[in-house]
Homo-oligomer: A and B are copies of this chain.
Amino acid sequence: MPDPRIAIVGATGAVGKVALRVLEERNFPLGALRLTASQRSIGKKLSFKGEDIVIEETTARLFAESDIAFISANDDISREMCGLAAKNGCVAIDDSGVWRMDMSVPLVVPEVNADDIDAHKGILSIPNCSTTPLVMALWPIHQVNPVKRVVVATYQSVSGTGAAAMAELDQQSKDLLAGNAVTAKQYPHRIAFNVLPHIGTFDADGYSSEEVKMLRETQKIMHAPELSVTATCVRVPVQISHSEAVNVEFERPISPEEARSLMGAFPGVTLTDDPSNASYPMPIDAADSDDVFVGRVRKDVSLPNGLAFWVVSDNLRKGAATNAVQIAEEVVKRGAWLREGVS
């Protein structure tokens, strides 16, 4: 089969840029690589394996000439672009929130539910960047001892919002350290030296959209509609990587040793768990890694069947670009193309 022709839609964004690096690092087999972005970036160049690629407009023709498109854009643009890609025979792997709970769109963490890919109808969705690390940590245990209930509190980095939020955290920090006034544009309040229990929009029940995603997406990916998740999602002044404090109730008791053994053996999970020697996952260590890091594994002393742990993962990588590229690898492996004759 010829190598697939790939397009990155939104190549200049925080996730798009990382997708380019991940394709390079994984030596993804490329029949072609085309990059698109919004109007103001067209004509600019991005480097890939030492070669400059000119950023072009996102058109029906581009999709007709591509086999897989990574789409990283806001919800409105994603909705339009994924439809256009699929209509033109290109498999869309989307990073936005618009398709995740669509019954006809597989929501995939390849280590967990790669088989769901086979049912796609042109669009595949990657989970929210706070859901993926949670599911990666839960799944290996869930296989032998089903998860009943999860309580999770997140510590999410500003790169989840995008490149402008990363710049704003730096600028606000500089201004505050210099004793100057700060302005907040990306968030309703200052994020520098502060924390905000506010990610997304709030529903009538008082949950944020990010918190609801952690429940619904986890149920969908793990095919576990009875599993309950209650989340508190919080933005913290960290540039890259989301951290999560997780308390889980399982059907039966589980020892920390067994949990460590199951999680540690799972592909894509790295245990960092020697707290007495100050060794535990931290955002600054997880950044630029594809793995999900788990530590602080201990019995939840408040429950007979309880376990507590701490998960950290680069939200731009396993939380977004790496997971998307892994899905593309599965599409290639499975020959799960939209149009005839690619494989």
Contact = CB atoms under 8 A, between A and B. Distances in A.
Interface of A: 149-151, 153, 155, 169-170, 173-174, 177, 188-190, 193-198, 201-202, 205-208, 215, 228-230, 232, 234, 236-239, 243, 245, 247, 256, 275-276, 278, 280-284, 295-303, 306, 308, 310
Contacts of A238: 193-195, 237
A310 to B, nearest CB: 5
A49 to B, nearest CB: 27
A278 B198 contact: yes
A206 B284 contact: no
A230 B173 contact: no
Given A173-B177, A177-B173, A197 B298 contact: no
Contacts of A302: 149-151, 228-230
Contact of A207 (B169, B201, B281, B301): B301
Interface hub of A153, A232, A239, A283 (most chain B Cβ within 10 A): A153
Interface hub of A150, A207, A245, A281 (most chain B Cβ within 10 A): A245
18 contacts: A149-B303, A151-B300, A153-B153, A155-B234, A169-B193, A174-B177, A193-B238, A193-B283, A194-B238, A195-B282, A197-B243, A197-B295, A205-B299, A206-B298, A206-B299, A228-B301, A228-B303, A237-B237
A227 to B, nearest CB: 9
B237 A245 contact: no
A206 B301 contact: no
